[in-house]
Structure 1
Amino acid sequence: MTAFGVGEACAMNARPIAADDTASPPIALYMPDLSDGGMERVMLNLAEAFMARGHAVDLLVSRDDGIYRDHLPEGVRLRVLEPTGPLLGRLQALRATRPAEWKTLAWTVLLGRKPGRQLSRLPSLVRYLRARRPGALIAANTYCNLNAVWARRLAGVPTRVMVTEHNALSPKNTRTGIGGAQWLARLPLIGQVYARADVVLAVSDGVADDLSAVTGLARSRIATVYNPVIKSDLAARAGEAAPHPWLADGGAAPVIVATGRLAPQKNFPLLLQAFALLRRQRPARLLILGEGRLRPQLEALIAELDLGEDVALPGFVTNPYAAFARASLFVLSSDYEGLGNVLIEAMASGCPVVSTDCPSGPAEILEGGRLGELVPVKDAAALSAAMLRALDTPRANADALRRRGAYFSQERSAERYLDLLFGQRRAPSEVTACQPQARR
Structure 2
Amino acid sequence: MDTTKFRVDPEELLNSRQKFGLTENDLVLIVVARLDPEKDVELAIRTALSMDDADIVLLVVGDGKERSRLEKLVNDQPSRTRIIFLGLLKDTRSAYAVSDFLLQTSRAPNLGTVVLEAMACCTPVVIAYRDEDEYRMAIDTFDGLDLGPISEAKPEAIAAAILDLYADQSRYQALRHKVRSFIEKRHSRALVYPGLAQAYASLENNNWKRQE
Are 1:316 and 2:91 matched, yes or no? no
**Hey, what does 1:393 align to over in structure 2?**
168
Over residues 42-89 of structure 1, what are the superposed CA-to-partner deviations in whole Å (9 max), with x where a residue is unaligned?
A: xxxxxxxxxxxxxxxxxxxxxxxxxxxxxxxxxxxxxxxxxxxxxxxx
Looking at structure 2, the residues matched to 436 and 349 of structure 1 have their Cα atoms a distance apart, in angstroms, of 45
Are 1:266 and 2:39 an aligned pair?
Answer: yes
Counterpart of 1:408?
A: 187
CA contact (8 A) 1:337 1:360 kept: no
Distance 1:290 1:237 in 2: 24
**1:277 matches 2:50:** yes
Kindly state the Cα deviation for residue 435 of structure 1 after the two structures are TM-superposed: 9.4
CA distance in 1, matches of 2:136, 2:202: 28
Task: Give the drift of 1:332.
Answer: 1.2
Structure-2 change in CA distance of 1:252 and 1:275 (3 Å) = same
Aligned position for 1:355: 127
Matches within 5 A, 1:20-419: 229-235=1-7, 239=12, 242=16, 245-246=19-20, 249-279=22-52, 283-306=55-78, 310-357=82-129, 358=134, 362-368=138-144, 370-376=146-152, 378-394=153-169, 395-397=172-174, 398-406=176-184, 407-419=186-198
Which ranges of structure 2 fall in alignment gaps of 5 or more residues? none
Report how far residue 288 of structure 1 moved. Answer: 1.0
Q: Which amino acid in 2 is paired with 1:300? A: K
Secondary structure at the aligned position of 1:325 is classed as helix
Instruction: Give the paired residue count.
Output: 200
TM-score by length of 2: 0.76
The 2-side partners of 1:375 and 1:387 are apart by 9
Contact kept? 2:120, 2:180, Cα under 8 Å: yes
Following TM superposition, by how much is the alpha carbon of 1:268 offset from its aligned partner in structure 2, in angstroms? 0.7
Letter aligned with residue 399 of structure 1: H
> Identity of paired residues, percent?
19
Q: How much has 1:354 moved relative to structure 2? A: 1.5
Q: Which amino acid aligns with 2:192?
A: S
The alignment's TM-score, normalised by the length of structure 1, stands at: 0.40
Q: For residues 91-112 of structure 1, what are the alpha-carbon distances to aligned partners after superposition, in whole Å with 9 as ceiling and x for unaligned? A: xxxxxxxxxxxxxxxxxxxxxx
Higher helix share: 2
Taking a change above 3 Å as real, the CA distance of residues 293 and 419 of structure 1, as seen in their structure-2 partners, is farther
Q: For residues 153-173 of structure 1, what are the alpha-carbon distances to aligned partners after superposition, in whole Å with 9 as ceiling and x for unaligned? A: xxxxxxxxxxxxxxxxxxxxx
- For the 8 Å contact 2:63–2:88, the answer to whether it is kept is yes
Structure 2 counterpart of 1:271, which letter?
A: A
Question: Match of 1:396, as an amino acid?
Answer: Q
Q: Give me the whole-angstrom Cα distance separating, in 2, the residues matched to 1:396 and 1:251.
A: 16
Distance 1:436 1:368, change over 3 A: closer
Q: Cα RMSD (Å) of the superposition?
A: 3.3
Distance between the aligned counterparts of 1:324 and 1:396, measured in 2? Answer: 16
Closer, same or farther in 2 for the Cα pair 1:419/1:334, shift >3 Å? Answer: same
1:361 Cα deviation from its structure 2 partner: 5.2
The structure, 1 or 2, with the larger RCO (C-alpha pairs under 8 Å, 6+ apart) is 2
CA contact (8 A) 1:340 1:361 kept: no
How far did 1:402 drift? 1.1
Q: Take 1:417 and 1:261, find their aligned partners in 2: how far apart are those partners?
A: 30
CA contact (8 A) 2:56 2:81 kept: no
**Structure 1's 307 and 268: CA in aligned 2 closer, same or farther, altered over 3 A?**
farther
Is the CA contact 2:8–2:97 (under 8 Å) kept in the aligned structure 1? no
Alpha-carbon distance in structure 2 between the residues aligned to 1:284 and 1:236: 21
Is residue 109–residue 141 contact of structure 2 (8 Å, CA) maintained in 1?
no
Contact 2:30/2:103 (CA < 8 Å) preserved in 1? yes
Q: Which moved more, 1:391-400 or 1:269-278?
A: 391-400
Instruction: Sort the Cα spacing of 1:244 and 1:361 in 2 relative to 1 into closer, same or farther, 3 A.
Output: farther
User: What is the CA–CA distance in structure 1 between the aligned matches of 2:182 and 2:34, rounded to whole Å?
Assistant: 24
In structure 1, how many angstroms separate the alpha carbons of the residues matched to 2:38 and 2:191? 28
CA distance in 2, matches of 1:261, 1:244: 25
Please say which structure displays the higher CA radius of gyration: 1
